[in-house]
């Protein structure tokens, strides 16, 4: 039986979607590295505190070195990504990932360790801006949220794998932390070699007067007919101009900038990194009778809940919408943290109640405040300033992460565990109000339609 033209079109569409998913998966390995490198410190710290006799302040410095690098990398991501392209910039970050991993794993002093983590943070900061932007610029509007959230899924998989690695390698003795860090060189090399077969972002090519190359990539992504329509839309939106920093802060961009900055900061200062980075220490040092292995196993449980909720979020992002997921997440986070605060005030509180509250909080976060801000930040800005604006928002995100990580143990010492998590509960409630008040729905809209929404 001859194959109809409709069957040919359907087959081409399937191949096109498969190709976009393949590219998104390769690029999202950077998200895995982000998750692994940030979460692995939870197990590493247990051994570092013993080997180097670290105080709380020194522990915060060791943890925050990576995050300072993240902030610096995110701040410079637009300069590098807009000048050299998304693909070449991501190749650069993969090389830094591999080199910094080896430096930290072989470090013989806290100075070398901190410098290695700082370099790794630079790579994370760069990739945290460039990866969502790249996926956004190759994804069709109807499933852009799901594709961009692949990076978040890879991130939480990285977190879970880090917890599993910590748990399984904890029995190697005082040198366990070196192996915990060193295994990350494998995905770093996978990212580097995988990127060699990834094309440049078509929107970046078109905005840099490389229309022929951009059209070829669009044709590979969407087919020849759709490529022409996409090319016209991108050219009209870009207006033949390169974006400037002045345009990022123009009056027409104030609302999207407030939305991006607000989501970026709030998704971090509501306390998720206090749980992810210090969870093992919190359980092992605040509950008598809990061994290091038990604390690390508890982290595996938290990481598993994180992954399951992220998978659920990916299924609903392009069906339910951004706003409903954010509202559900922030409300659930606030309630979970209030239960946690209550649990810590009860004498001889059950570890299971505390762990259950933490798992509930982490699950709500992973359902909304984990993936959705990255999606919104990457899609609400015009093409010509997307890189710069995303860099500003992501720098704010890492600033929030650094603030929480650098002050968490000090806050516990000053306010106690209940007081500290009460602050996070209040901030979660404020996040609910912020989303209700200002965050719009962007589900199903093309990037150009979202741009028109701001009147630019």
User: pLDDT (tens digit, 9 = 90+) per residue, 396-449?
Assistant: 888 888 888 778 878 888 888 889 899 999 999 999 999 999 998 888 777 777
Gap between the Cα atoms of 4 and 203, Å rounded = 33
Write out the H or E segment, with its range, that includes residue 10.
helix 5-27
The pLDDT value given to residue 14: 55
Mean pLDDT in residue range 21-27: 92
Write out the H or E segment, with its range, that includes residue 90.
helix 86-105
Gap between the Cα atoms of 101 and 413, Å rounded = 32
Tokens representing 19?
């190709």
**Is the torsion defined by CA of 256, 257, 259, 264 positive or negative?**
positive
Q: Exposed, middle or buried by CB within 10 Å (0-12, 13-18, 19+), for 385?
A: buried
The pLDDT value given to residue 261: 94
User: Is the domain defined by 5-453 classed in CATH 1.20.1250.20?
Assistant: yes
Cβ(145)–Cβ(326) under 8 Å?
Answer: no
Gap between the Cα atoms of 63 and 42, Å rounded = 9
**pLDDT tens-place string over residues 379-389:** 888 877 887 88
32: confidence class by pLDDT, cuts 50, 70, 90: very high
131: confidence class by pLDDT, cuts 50, 70, 90: very high
Read off φ and ψ for residue 223, nearest 5 degrees. Answer: 100, 155
Gap between the Cα atoms of 90 and 24, Å rounded = 13
Q: What percent of the chain has pLDDT over 70?
A: 89
**pLDDT tens-place string over residues 325-369:** 999 999 999 999 999 888 878 777 677 788 888 889 999 999 999
- Specify the higher pLDDT residue, 395 or 56: 395
Q: Domain extents for the chain?
A: 5-453
Gap between the Cα atoms of 456 and 174, Å rounded = 57
* CA-CA-CA-CA dihedral for 59, 65, 66, 68, to nearest 10: 130
CB atoms within 10 A of CB 286: 14
Gap between the Cα atoms of 202 and 219, Å rounded = 10
Q: CA distances (Å), 375 to each of 200, 260, 318, 368, in order?
A: 20, 10, 11, 11
Least confident of 112-116, 274-278, 338-342, 436-440: 274-278
Q: What pTM value is reported for the model?
A: 0.73
Residues 6+ apart with CB under 8 A from 88: 200
Q: CA distances (Å), 98 to each of 72, 119, 339, in order?
A: 18, 10, 41
Gap between the Cα atoms of 185 and 123, Å rounded = 13
Which residue is associated with the tokens 């794998």? 161
The yes-or-no verdict on residue 118 having pLDDT over 90 is yes
Q: What is the DSSP letter of 271?
A: S
Gap between the Cα atoms of 165 and 40, Å rounded = 8
The pLDDT value given to residue 3: 47
**Is the torsion defined by CA of 382, 388, 213, 375 positive or negative?**
negative
Spacing of C-alpha 300 from chain mean position = 19
Helix spans in 287-367 (H): 292-320, 322-345, 351-364
Gap between the Cα atoms of 436 and 216, Å rounded = 41
Gap between the Cα atoms of 119 and 98, Å rounded = 10
The pLDDT value given to residue 237: 59
3-state SS of 190-204 is: HHHHHHCCCCCCHHH
């Amino acid at each position: 039986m001859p194959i109809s033209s409709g069957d040919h079109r359907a087959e081409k569409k399937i191949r096109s979607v498969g190709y976009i998913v393949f590219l998104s998966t390769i690029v999202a390995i950077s998200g895995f590295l982000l998750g692994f490198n940030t979460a692995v410190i939870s197990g590493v710290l247990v051994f570092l505190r013993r080997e180097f006799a670290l105080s709380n302040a020194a522990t915060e410095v060791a943890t925050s070195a990576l995050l300072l690098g993240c902030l610096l990398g995110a701040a410079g991501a637009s300069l590098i990504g807009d000048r050299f392209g998304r693909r070449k910039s991501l190749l650069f970050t993969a090389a830094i990932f591999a080199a910094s991993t080896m430096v930290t794993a072989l470090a013989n002093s806290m100075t070398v360790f901190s410098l290695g983590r700082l370099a790794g943070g630079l790579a994370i900061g760069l990739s945290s801006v460039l990866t969502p932007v790249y996926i956004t610029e190759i994804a069709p509007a109807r499933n852009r949220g799901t594709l961009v959230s692949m990076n978040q899924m890879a991130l939480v998989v990285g977190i879970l794998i880090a917890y599993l690695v910590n748990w399984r390698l904890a029995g190697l003795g005082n040198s366990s932390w070196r192996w915990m860090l060193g295994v990350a060189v494998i995905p770093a090399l996978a990212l580097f070699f995988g990127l060699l077969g990834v094309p440049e972002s078509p929107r970046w090519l078109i905005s840099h007067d490389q229309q022929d190359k951009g059209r070829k990539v669009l044709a590979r992504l969407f087919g020849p007919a759709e490529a022409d329509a996409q090319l016209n839309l991108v050219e009209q939106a870009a207006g033949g101009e390169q974006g400037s920093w002045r345009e990022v802060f123009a009056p027409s961009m104030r609302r999207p900038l407030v939305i991006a900055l607000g989501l970026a900061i709030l998704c971090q200062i509501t306390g998720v990194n206090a749980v992810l980075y210090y969870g093992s220490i919190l359980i092992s040092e605040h509950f008598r009778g809990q061994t290091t292995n038990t604390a690390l196993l508890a982290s595996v449980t938290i990481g598993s809940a994180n992954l399951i909720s992220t998978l659920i979020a990916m299924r609903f992002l392009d069906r339910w919408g951004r706003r409903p997921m954010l509202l559900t997440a922030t409300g659930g986070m606030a309630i979970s943290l209030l239960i946690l605060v209550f649990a810590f005030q009860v004498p001889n509180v059950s570890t299971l109640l505390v762990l259950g509250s933490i798992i509930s909080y982490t699950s709500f976060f992973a359902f909304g405040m984990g993936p959705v801000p990255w999606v919104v930040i990457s899609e609400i800005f015009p093409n010509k300033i997307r890189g710069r604006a995303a860099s500003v928002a992501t720098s704010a995100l890492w600033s929030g992460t650094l603030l929480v990580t650098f002050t968490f143990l000090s806050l516990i010492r000053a306010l106690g565990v209940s007081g500290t998590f009460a602050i996070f509960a209040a901030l979660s409630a404020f996040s609910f109000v912020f989303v209700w008040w200002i965050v719009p729905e962007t589900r199903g809209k093309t990037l150009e339609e979202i741009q028109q929404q701001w009147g630019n």
